[in-house]
Every structure is written in C-alpha cells, then in structure tokens.
Amino acid sequence: MVVQEQAILKAVGATNATEFTKEWPLVDRPGVVGAMMVVYLILIRLGEAWMRNREAFKLRNYMIVHNFGLVILSTYTTWKLLSGFFLRQMPDDLLCEMPNANTAGHMQMAEGMFLFFISKQIDLLDTALLVLKKKPVSVLHWYHHVSVLFLGWVLIRYLPSGTSMMGPTANSIVHMVMYTYYGLAAIGPHMQKYLWWKKYLTKLQLSQFVFIAGYTFIPWVRSNTCTYPKFWILLQTLYVISLFVLFVNFYYQTYIKRARAKVRTSHGDKAVQNGKSNGVDKNSSYVQNGKAHNE
C-alpha cells in the first residue's frame, strides 16, 4: 500500500508541501470513494431491474430542491475557487503552479476543491432520479458521473490548488447554468417556453472541455520551465478528450440527427398530401382510369 501511495505521489508530482488536505474527511479514505463508484454502478442495474414493472415516481418537488440546491452549491464552490485565485500572490504563475499550503489563497482554493469533490458525490443522485423516473441512463451519463468523482478525489488529495483549480472552476460555472435549467424544467411544462436555450447548454459543456484541455496542456508546452506533473497533464487531457467525444455524439444524436429526421418526416408528409391531391388516398389506394385499386 505504501509503495502504491509513493507511486501515485511521484506520478502526480505531489510532495509533503502539496499534501495538506490528506487528513480531510473522505480525502483520507480512498477505499470509501472506490466503494462509492462500484456501488453506484451496481445500483444503476439493480434500480433499473426493480423499476421494470413499476410506475415511474413523481418527484417534481424533490427535483426542484435537488437542482436548485446544486445551483447554490456550485455557485459557492465557484466563489471559493475564484476568491482563492485572487488571494494568491499575483506574481505566481497559475499556468504552472503547484499547491502551496503556506498561502491563504491556496488554502481557499483547496476548500473550493473539497466542495467540488463533495458536489460530485451529490451529483450521483441525478442518476437515482433518472432510474426512479424510468428514464434511460446513457453511457455518457454514468461514465461522466463515476469518473469525475474519482477525478475530484485525486485533485483534492494530491493537487488541491494551483493550476489544477481551473478545471473544477470551469465545471462549477457550467453546473450553475445546467442545474438552473433542470430546476426550471422541473417546475412544470409551462416553463418550456423559457428553456429554448437547451442546445446552447450542451455547447457550453463542450466549450469547457476545450478550455480545460487547452489550459491543462500549457504546462506541457512549457516543459523546460514548468514542473507541473506531465503524467497528470496527459491523463487529464485524454480524459477531457473522451468526454468531448461523448458529448459531441450526444449533441449530434439529440439535435442534428433528430432535426434531419424531422425534415425527412416533413417531406414525407408533404409527399402524402401531394399524393392525395393526385388521387392517392390514406389507405394507399391509387386511382387509375377512374377506379380505385388497392396496392
């Protein structure tokens, strides 16, 4: 166990100076976090099986509280992270900055990272809501939730401040907007006319991945002067790319493919209407020489 710990520390470039959060609640319990991930995946399948012959639950009030509660938590997390950023010594290079327990700014960022880690645990309830409402749980959904929980633990455990704070900050800002949308949608169907911006929410999510990948990769380009761990840069970049691909597929399936299907359906309806005007009735009969013939 000690050998594995040392290997992880070396891979992420952590030192005693950067490990000032290792005794924080749950941060010092990697086994608990791993168990959360395994139990989460098992409960998805068990929950879907349990709901198979049951009516979907009506969870409107809970969904409103859940979503707007996460808006508040994401807002507070963002504030913690950004306030820590502005409290840090400005000459420090945030494009290449390791955690530092000796500054108030870094401690503030670490507190924000801890809130981010906690929020990823609460986010797992999103899946419970889908299962109880008999909605499909996509690969994108469960992969994103379980992987970002692990990522949140790695960050708060080994890289709780510095350059690593930019990803959680971007994600928390996106979640402020995302859960606002879900909260408004949960209020009722009459809110749909105000939610025309759903596809732009997906674009915002895609934009965050481009931003995080670009920002994370800067230390790699500056490898001659930057000591930020290269292994972590590579791992996080590959992870963000995987999410980007899945979200692009979601965008294509949800907006582009469906829009094309609607166009084809619309053209088909017009063809049917034109057929009726030319003697074709709704029972697929056609008129020939004044007599109806069934096809």
pLDDT at 207: 93
Q: Can you list the positions of beta strands (E) in the chain?
A: 285-288, 291-294
- Cβ–Cβ contacts within 10 Å for residue 187, how many? 15
**Strand, coil or helix: what is 25?**
coil
The DSSP code sequence of 173-194 is HHHHHHHHHHHHHHH-GGGGGG
**What is this structure's pTM?**
0.82
**Sign of the CA dihedral 165, 171, 173, 175?**
negative
pLDDT at 126: 97
Q: How far is CA 117 from the centre of its chain?
A: 13
Show the CA angle centred on residue 112, arms to residues 23 and 118, nearest 5°: 65
pLDDT at 245: 93
pLDDT at 92: 58
Q: What is the pLDDT along the chain (295 residues), one digit of tens a residue?
A: 555 555 555 555 555 555 688 889 999 888 999 999 999 999 999 999 999 999 999 999 999 999 999 999 999 999 999 999 888 765 556 677 777 777 888 899 999 999 999 999 999 999 999 999 999 999 999 999 999 999 999 999 888 888 888 899 999 999 999 999 999 999 999 999 999 998 899 899 999 999 988 887 777 777 677 777 778 888 888 899 999 999 999 989 888 887 777 776 665 555 555 555 555 444 444 333 444 444 3
Report the first-to-last Cα separation within the chain, whole angstroms: 75
Residue written as tokens 């000796």?
102
pLDDT at 225: 73
pLDDT at 93: 67
pLDDT at 215: 82
pLDDT at 81: 95
> In 3D, which of 2, 21, 287 has the Cα closest to residue 153?
21
Q: Is 25 exposed, middle or buried (0-12, 13-18, 19+ CB in 10 A)?
A: exposed
> In 3D, which of 51, 71, 44 has the Cα closest to residue 186?
71
pLDDT at 291: 44
> In 3D, which of 75, 162, 74 has the Cα closest to residue 120?
74
As a whole number of angstroms, the distance between CA 161 and CA 158 comes to 9
**Strand, coil or helix: what is 293?**
strand
Q: Is 218 exposed, middle or buried (0-12, 13-18, 19+ CB in 10 A)?
A: middle
pLDDT at 230: 78
- Cβ–Cβ contacts within 10 Å for residue 287, how many? 12
